[in-house]
Amino acid sequence: MDVLFKNIRLINPLNDMDEVVNLHIVNGIIEHCDSSAPKISIDCEIIDGTELVVSPGFIDIHTHLREPGFTHKETLQTAVNAALNGGFTEIVSQPNTNPCIDNALVVDYIKNKTLNMPVNVRIAAAITKDRKGETLTNMQTLANSGVVYFTDDGACVKSAEMMKRAFEYAGPNDYLIAQHCEEHTLTKNFSMNESDVSTKLGLIGYPSVAEAIIIQRDIALAEYAGNCRYHVQHISTSAGVNLVKSSKLKGLRVSCETTPHHIYFTDDKLMTYDVNYKMNPPLRKQADIDAIIEGLRDGTIDCIASDHAPHSSEECEVEFEKAPTGVVGLETSIGAALTLLYHRHKFNLKEIISLFSVKPRKILNLQQVIIEKGVSANLTIFSPNKEWVVDKNRFKTMGRNTPFHREIFCGKPEYIINNNFMVKSEL
């Protein structure tokens, strides 16, 4: 690799950097990073950066990579390809695989299969064995094997007693406990958000209070166990946002994420019975979207995560009630966020980059990315103003279950540079 991005805008919220530079990278190392003209070889590839922004590599802390066990939906390789295409240099795999990521052998399997890839694949392990909510996993062994947090995502830890034990074990070791916040007795056989729309369609609804009940319970347990680190996954309701905001004002160590689809669509999209809008948690009302966007603006919500959840076409081509929940997101997250937050709601680019890079790494206690001469390049490069039409047939993921097909986005990932690889997006 020998590439020069001429006159590219460099933004790094970590050190409040926002300037136009000539960025020269050789063999994965930043050789030049300022406004002066670098010395380059005749073989150097020169790319016009005047319409581009370079930032610390984006990380998606909530992705379902499906392998091991569900390779008809996705493989580790296709998930990595999707992350590259979508502008991410790091992703975090969720534990709902088969076998479940609840022991070091499965962790090692994923680590070994993703060695020397352009994307850093990190791993979240289960809180309870096989995600059944009955017995705690050996968190210490899993943490020692490199796990970055613990969650039973896809299912909520139903028992308050079990969750209390998880916090009591995690607290002294400062492990992060994350939760899929769903009070399951209120959501059995749900198809969508409980609302006037679900009533019109005759579908079983998932009431927003089912999310709030678990968030409130878990915050109380985390505080009781000694102000433990707690992360709310894919928050979707105004009530949930308010609970997180109150906990932060109290000084509790609570963080949360939201997804692009939960700020982009309301449950009105279900009027057509399109399974590409069926997800868990479900799409909510405009008031919930407004609260989430305000939560992103004021810092209540720490980051954006895709909740990338690929399914096979055969699984999705069934009656609406029988279709699986979840949508793919690695290749649409950046475009959706730039379109909605940067262009429509006037977030600045520094705020957008922080939501995808600085803040998620802070949640996971990961080393932050520095962009300066002499360091290894871990970079996302995007065009903030390029208009494009989402075409699911250009995705690298095996899943085609997306609500964004044919959406017009303004803002597009262009390149990632990481681990001495440079990959151009083909979206």
CA 370 to chain centre: 21
- The neighbouring-strand residues paired with 149 are 124
CB contact at 8 A, 8 and 19: no
Q: What is the CATH number of domain 57-363?
A: 3.20.20.140
Report the pLDDT value the prediction gives residue 186, as an integer from 0 to 100. 98
Q: Catalytic site residue 268?
A: no
Report the pLDDT value the prediction gives residue 239, as an integer from 0 to 100. 98
Residues of the chain with pLDDT under 50: none
Q: Alpha carbon of 200 to those of 192, 194, 195, 269, 355: distances in Å?
A: 12, 11, 9, 13, 36
Helices (H), 145-186: 160-173
Query: Topology of 2-54+372-424 in CATH?
Result: Urease, subunit C; domain 1 (2.30.40)
Report the pLDDT value the prediction gives residue 103, as an integer from 0 to 100. 98
Which residue in 60, 153, 307, 391 is the catalytic one? 307
The CA radius of gyration of the chain, in Å to the nearest whole number, is 21
Report the pLDDT value the prediction gives residue 124, as an integer from 0 to 100. 98
Domain with CATH 3.20.20.140 in the chain: 57-363
CA distance 295 to 403: 23
CA distance 255 to 87: 24
Length of the chain: 427
The beta strand positions in 133-278, using DSSP E, are: 149-150, 177-179, 192-193, 205-206, 230-232, 254-258
Report the pLDDT value the prediction gives residue 58, as an integer from 0 to 100. 99
Handedness of CA 232, 234, 238, 241 (dihedral sign): positive
CB atoms within 10 A of CB 410: 17
pTM for the whole structure? 0.97
Domain with CATH 2.30.40.10 in the chain: 2-54+372-424
Report the pLDDT value the prediction gives residue 176, as an integer from 0 to 100. 98
CA distance 231 to 100: 20
- The neighbouring-strand residues paired with 88 are 58
CA distance 242 to 235: 11
Residue from 224, 249, 208 nearest 168 by CA: 224
For β-strands 303-304 and 254-258, DSSP reports them as: parallel
What is the residue whose two structure tokens read 């319409």? Answer: 51
Report the pLDDT value the prediction gives residue 171, as an integer from 0 to 100. 97
